[in-house]
Amino acid sequence: MENTIDTKELNLTKKDFESDQMVKWCPGCGDYGILRSLENVFPLLGIPKEDFVVVSGIGCSSRFPYYMNTYGIHGIHGRAAALATGIKLTNPKLSVWMISGDGDSMAIGGNHFIHIARRNPDINYLMFNNKIYGLTKGQFSPTTPFGSKTKTSPQGTYEIPFNPGELVIGSQGKFFARVPDTNLKLMSKIFKEAAEFKGTSIVEILANCIIFQNKIHSMITGKETKEEYQLVLEHGEPMLFGKDLQKGLILEGTQLKVVELGKNGVTIDKILVHDSGTHDPGIHMMLASMAPPEFPSAIGVIRAVKSETFDDNVWASIEYEKDNTSITNVDELLNSGNTWEID
Amino acid sequence: MISNRNKVVELEHAVIRFAGDSGDGMQLTGGLFSDSTAFAGNDFATFPDYPAEIRAPQGTVAGVSGFQIRFGKTDIHTSGDLADVLVAMNPASLKANMRWIANDSIIIVDTDSFIEKNLKKAGYETNPLEDGSLIGHLVVKVPLTTLTRATVRDLNIDNKTSQKSKNMFALGLIFYMFNRDYTKTFSFFETKFKSNPLIVQANKLVLEAGFNFGDTIEAFANTFKIEPAPLQKGKYRNVTGNLATAWGFLAASEKSGRNLFLGSYPITPASEILQELSRHKQFSAVSFQAEDEIAGIVSTIGASFAGALAITTTSGPGFSLKSEAIGLAVITELPIVIVDVQRGGPSTGLPTKSEQSDLMQALFGRNGEAPCIIIAAQSASDCYYSAYEASKLAIEHMTPVILLSDGSIANGSEVFKIPKMKEMQPIETPLVEANDDSYQPYLRDEKKLNRRWALPGTEGLRHRIGGLEKENITGNVSMDPLNHQLMTELREDKVKLVSNYIPKQEVIGGDISDLLVISWGGTYGVLLTAIEKLIEEGKSVSLAHFKYIMPLPRNTKEVLSRYKRILVCEINMGQFVNYLRMQFPEFSYEQFNKVQGLPFMVVEITEKVNEILND
């Protein structure tokens, strides 16, 4: 199912994907940047515009399909993964983009989330994690930090939140990336990598809900703190962060540890080098789990393990059966096995 | 092979019930007898009766598995009320089936199993073979286990394996009773146990020994013969409802040119449809076993959006879980078929038993005004045509269709005249050509009011749909009050207009009679048998059996208006009768309901009708 069409030949631009519908997110919402980013990336992928399908569930993020000029379907709460799977299995040629949020994916759609990760159909799964229910106006979600006061937790939550990356890796997921909604350049790069990855590419976007959970990611995204709390991963590169990239990660015993270059004899060759392609979930899980203030948050493609895709396997099995059956049409099927004739 | 020792008595029809422990191979035995019945040219219908547990405790009444077949020289529409012959492999199966046998039946028992331990497990205080409780029946006492073991003694097979073939001894005996040729069964053994010649030989020997035993012991004063039924010329096979349903969808896929997609979650008694379609990938049929019922239907909606003939199959509890998603299919106006193989409810209820109690859920069990086309399959072989027609209506009218089947027709089997694909009605797919400038997502066909189907990947037709209310014609999101009223009415009218595309309601019996009996769905066989019998007896009664539930056939009111009294019979507390009361309150209705997880018996219907006619 490789798309071999040349980008230049298609001659697509951002305009080709802009919808004529009024975008109705709150002014200042992080979702605007994500929309712009995706409109920028689609023309670069070498895929004809009619082959894009944008699929969503319910929530603020899930209005997305209406705001892009592609084929789109806005489904029901939590079930976009199933919708996307049905589309991809029916027509594997399509470039399927699924948009979801933390409520949609981690709560009502939690079951579908782990199963799409496990099956690995070639779908791009963008999860906007603003750690709150925005569309229903401010109740806590499964990713809301412990103790947060919200409309349904006036005394603070009593629930341990999910970390989406841990769920992806724990569910046999093959691709996981994380990006803040403030870094559109990196976001576009990651969207492109997600599109090119064969399998379910799950991207957690740290999205800001300006109304109900403003600055929830500010430690990671804030101007003053971002260098300290963002470890931008690159495959094959050492895991460095901080001002002038003077800090890095090493493995001490079975745990990650933050070190400073030049201190206590730490040199660059001691620093862990990122291998997004290793099947071993160990370091990937540790990276996904890292959180401020003890650690920086891992940004970029944490895991991208080459594997067979669900849709390829389904259709390979169909092709195999076609080549190896004596029953090729329904008349033959109905007349196969035990039959008898009445004259 | 017909014995010359005994007199051969000719019968019109007969009912045999094979019963044993769930591990005794009764379903296979029944299946093999059905095959030989087919070759004998009789018409027949079968019904399995098995426990919800895979292997309930051995020897207990809960663990009894049964298989009933009715066969005859006339049209057979039901698997029969009471058995003329019961094969009981152990005390529990005798106990469990006493209420299902005729007063003067022949009972064949394995005396080896009537030992104290087994009697106790079955809950017998005294041995029924000795305490006189079977007076009136002809009890044929056969030491099946001993005889089977003796038959295979020289084959050097272990006790457990020889034990397993004792069902073939019983089958041999029945073959003798009904003057059957067993060479076909021998070829079945050769295919089925190809890799194990010893088992083939054992089964052949045991079957033959059973047959010869019948000839030798002179337990029967006579044997029986049933002449072939006057079936129409053609090719036939045996099908269960679930098998026929799966094949009907494959046929619709081939005819419409749309690949089949099945998104389902396993559930009794619908799983066989998913299993069967998983075996036929060569037809480009994708079968997706989803993580739950909701993912099953939602993947189906996705597949429909992408252009597949998209199906989801389930039973009552799963049907409940799919409700919200059915609404999505209604508002996106995408063609899908939801098959509900009804079972006893509520909740987990009676998983292996049958009921017609999901009708109201199919009609109204969704949020908002969400009409669907509903059709109800009426027999095992009709499942083929119903699945085909459900697909055709879904695609041509661009709307979800609910196909109601039930446990009794899904697992029951009957003779099926094999249709040819060229005889099946064409299916017109309202697809939009690439770059059609006139395309608008919610622009409708004037006659049917369906929107058109524009598939992702087609140039020039990019559009968005979803669960938010759509603006008429453009399909943009709209919260406009008048538009919502209009769209609600359009969706409803679209379904109502289907009545122009389905047959008129037919009536069996006179246009004017004292009583119109109404039934729907899987009770057809019993009702037809009962009403035909009553008509033959000169009773003034007619039958209207409904297959199309939503919309009802366009002449329904006219049919109802012709009769003084109306009796609605159904396997629930009165769901169809209440639906008719809603639609046509001008008529008065009587009702006859049964909710025991069991089909009607013919005699129950005839008695009820006679009671009404006599009062």
Indicate the burial class of B508 (C-beta count within 10 angstroms; 0-12, 13-18, 19 or more).
middle
Whether residue B305 has pLDDT greater than 90: yes
Nearest-CA distance A64 → chain B (Å)? 10
Nearest-CA distance A12 → chain B (Å)? 14
The whole-model pTM stands at: 0.95
Q: Does B280 touch chain A (CB under 8 A)?
A: yes
Using DSSP, state whether B190 is helix, strand or coil.
helix
Q: Identify from A73, A94, A104 which residue to disrupt to test chain B contact, counting B C-beta atoms within 10 A and taking the largest count.
A: A73
Residues of A in contact with B460 (CB under 8 A): 50
Whether residue B536 has pLDDT greater than 70: yes
Query: How many CB atoms are located within 10 Å of the residue B369 CB?
Result: 14
The one-letter amino acid at A196: E
What's the confidence (pLDDT) of residue A149?
A: 95
Tell me the pLDDT band of B218, cut-offs 50, 70 and 90. confident
Q: Does B242 touch chain A (CB under 8 A)?
A: no
The CATH class of A8-237+275-317 is alpha beta
Report which of residues A261 and B164 the model is more confident about.
Answer: A261
Q: Which two tokens stand for residue B86?
A: 């019961």
Percent of chain B scoring above 90 in pLDDT: 89
Whether residue B139 has pLDDT greater than 70: yes
> Pairing state of beta strands A255-260 and A297-304?
unpaired
The dihedral through the CA atoms of B244, B246, B249, B250 has a sign that is negative
User: Are the C-beta atoms of residues B59 and B119 closer than 8 Å to each other?
Assistant: no
Cα–Cα dist A125/A142, whole Å? 18
> Region A263-289: what's the mean pLDDT?
96
Pick A94's closest partner by Cβ from B304, B306, B421: B306
Residues of A in contact with B478 (CB under 8 A): none
Cα–Cα dist B183/B192, whole Å? 14
Q: What is the pLDDT of residues B564-579, one digit of tens each?
A: 999 999 999 999 999 9
User: Are the C-beta atoms of residues B69 and B34 closer than 8 Å to each other?
Assistant: yes
Whether residue B615 has pLDDT greater than 90: no
What's the confidence (pLDDT) of residue A244?
A: 94
Query: How many CB atoms are located within 10 Å of the residue B452 CB?
Result: 21
- Report the greatest alpha carbon distance in chain A: 97
Share of chain A residues as helix, strand and coil, in percent rounded to the nearest 5? 35, 20, 45
Please give the order of strands across the beta sheet that includes A247-252: A240-241, A247-252, A255-260
What's the confidence (pLDDT) of residue A8?
A: 53
CB-side exposure of A284: number of CA atoms within 13 Å? 29
> Region B100-122: what's the mean pLDDT?
95
User: Are the C-beta atoms of residues B107 and B220 closer than 8 Å to each other?
Assistant: no
- Identify the closest residue of chain B to A325 by CA–CA distance: B282
Pick B236's closest partner by Cβ from A51, A111, A339: A339
Q: Does B479 touch chain A (CB under 8 A)?
A: no
What's the confidence (pLDDT) of residue B3?
A: 46
Whether residue A7 has pLDDT greater than 70: no
Tell me the pLDDT band of B5, cut-offs 50, 70 and 90. low
Please report the domains of chain B, with CATH numbers, ordered by start residue: 7-225 (3.40.920.10), 237-419 (3.40.50.970), 515-614 (3.40.50.920)
The dihedral through the CA atoms of B454, B457, B459, B465 has a sign that is positive
Residue A2 DSSP class = -
Whether residue A173 has pLDDT greater than 70: yes
Q: Which two tokens stand for residue B181?
A: 């040729």
Interface ipTM? 0.96
Cα–Cα dist B35/B31, whole Å? 6
Please give the order of strands across the beta sheet that includes B13-21: A339-342, B234-240, B413-417, B43-49, B64-72, B13-21, B83-88, B101-110, B138-142
> Distance from first CA to last CA of chain B, Å, rounded?
53
Whether residue B613 has pLDDT greater than 90: yes
> Region B505-520: what's the mean pLDDT?
96
Residues of A in contact with B427 (CB under 8 A): none
Shortest CA distance to B36 belongs to which of B152, B221, B168?
Answer: B168
Whether residue A4 has pLDDT greater than 80: no
Domain ranges of chain A: 8-237+275-317, 241-273
The one-letter amino acid at A249: L
What's the confidence (pLDDT) of residue B6?
A: 63
Query: At CA B413, angle to CA B409 and CA B418, rounded to 5?
Result: 110
> Region A102-130: what's the mean pLDDT?
97
Cross-strand bridge partners of residue B70: B15, B45
Shortest CA distance to B464 belongs to which of B488, B480, B442?
Answer: B442
Pick B291's closest partner by Cβ from A84, A115, A341: A115
Query: At CA B233, angle to CA B383 and CA B283, rounded to 5?
Result: 40
Pick B282's closest partner by Cβ from A90, A328, A337: A328
Q: Identify from A5, A340, A343 which residue to disrupt to test chain B contact, counting B C-beta atoms within 10 A and taking the largest count.
A: A340
Tell me the pLDDT band of A2, cut-offs 50, 70 and 90. very low
